[in-house]
Amino acid sequence: MPKDPYAALGLTKTASADEIKKAYRRIARTDHPDLNPDDPLSEARFKDAGRAYDLLKDPDQRRRFDAGEIDASGAEKAPRGYYRDEARRPENPYAQGRAGGNPFNDAFDPDDFFASFGRNRGGGFNRSGFGDRPGEDTQYRLSVPFLDAATGTKTRITLPEGGTLEVAIPEGARDGQILRLRGKGAPGFGAGRRGDAFITLDVTPHPDFERDGDDIVVTLPITIDEAILGGKVPVRTVSGTVNVSVPAGASSGQVLRLKGRGVKGRTGKGDQRVILRIVSPPRIDAALKQFMEGWRADHPYDPRAGKEPV
C-alpha cells in the first residue's frame, strides 16, 4: 500500500503547489541519490518523496488524486535507475575524460607516480599571462568496430558541432581508451594555445571474436571426424583466415593457441586462443549409428571418471 503522498512530503492536503515543490526540493537536496552518491541509504529515503512529487506536481493529476479518481499507486513506475549506478563503473567516459585520462594506464615510474597521484587533477587553469588562456579541451566519444580497433585504422569523424577531425585509431586500441589530439580542442583566448580534443573509444563487440587482454578468443566448431582424426581447419583471425591444426582425438573445450595472432599490446602481440567445440552431424544416419553401437560394445570409456558423486 503506497504511502499518502502528502505525508511523504511532510505536508497536508491544503499545501500549495509552491509548498509541494519546496518540500520536495528540501528532501531531494539531502536525499537525491545522484546528489549523494556515497550514501547507499539515500535512495530508499528519496523514493517516497520522488513518487509523491511526481504525482502532486501536475495540477491535473493532483486534482484527480484529491477527488479519489486515482490512488497514489497511479504514480507507480517501473523502478528507475540512477546515474550514479552507471557512473561508478570504471568505464564511465565522463569521469575519465574530464580527469585527463586514467593515471593507471599511462606508462609511469612507480616512485614518481605515487608522489604525484592526487596532484594534476585540477585541470585546465594554467594561465600563461593576463588575458591569454588556452582554449577549452573538448570531449568526444567514438564508436569503433572491433576489427578496426584490433588492427588500427584512420578515420575521419564529423563533430556534433560541425567540422571534421582526422583520428588515427592505434593498433590494439582498447575499449575505453582515450586518445588525445593536441591542439584540436576549442581555440585559445588571446595568445593562448588551442585546447586538446579527448576522444574516448567505444569498441563495438564482435559476434565471433572476444578480447581478453591482448589475446583474442574464438570458438571453433569442428565435426566429429575432425575431432577424431585431426586435420587442418580454417579459422578466422583479426588479420584474415588461417589454418589451424586440430590434433587427432581433440575434445570440446580444448584450447589451441595461435602465437602472435592476437592484438598488439604493450609487450608485443597477444595470441589467438581457439576453443574447440565438437558439433554432431545434423542427421545421424544408419551407418553412423551402427558403427557407434558396434564400437561402444568393444571400447567403453568413461570421460566422467572421478566427477560423479560416490
Minimum CB separation of residue 301 from other proteins in Å reads 41
Minimum CB separation of residue 163 from other proteins in Å reads 12
* C-alpha cell read off for 70: 486515482
Q: Which is nearer to other proteins, 133 or 261 (CB)?
A: 133
Q: Which is nearer to other proteins, 6 or 146 (CB)?
A: 146
Minimum CB separation of residue 73 from other proteins in Å reads 18
Minimum CB separation of residue 138 from other proteins in Å reads 7
Report the alpha-carbon distance of residue 275 to residue 256 in Å, rounded: 7
Q: Which is nearer to other proteins, 176 or 226 (CB)?
A: 176
Residue positions counted in the chain: 310
Q: Which residues share a beta bridge with 158?
A: 164
Helical axes 42-56 vs 17-31, angle rounded to 10°: 160
Minimum CB separation of residue 110 from other proteins in Å reads 12
Q: Which is nearer to other proteins, 21 or 264 (CB)?
A: 21
Contacts 24+ apart (CB under 8 A), 84-88: 84/33, 84/34, 84/37, 87/37, 88/37
Q: Which is nearer to other proteins, 25 or 232 (CB)?
A: 25
Minimum CB separation of residue 134 from other proteins in Å reads 16
Q: Which is nearer to other proteins, 97 or 172 (CB)?
A: 97
Report the alpha-carbon distance of residue 242 to residue 257 in Å, rounded: 12
What sign does the CA torsion over 249, 252, 255, 256 have? positive
Q: Which residues bind other proteins (CB under 8 A)?
A: 21, 24-25, 28-29, 32, 34, 37-38, 53, 80-90, 92-99, 102-104, 121, 138-143, 157-161, 202, 204-205
Give the CA distances from residue 72 to residues 6, 76, 175, 191, in Å, rounded to whole numbers and listed in that order.
10, 7, 44, 60
CA angle 28, 30, 35 (to 5 degrees): 75
Residues 198 and 140 sit within 8 Å (Cβ to Cβ): yes
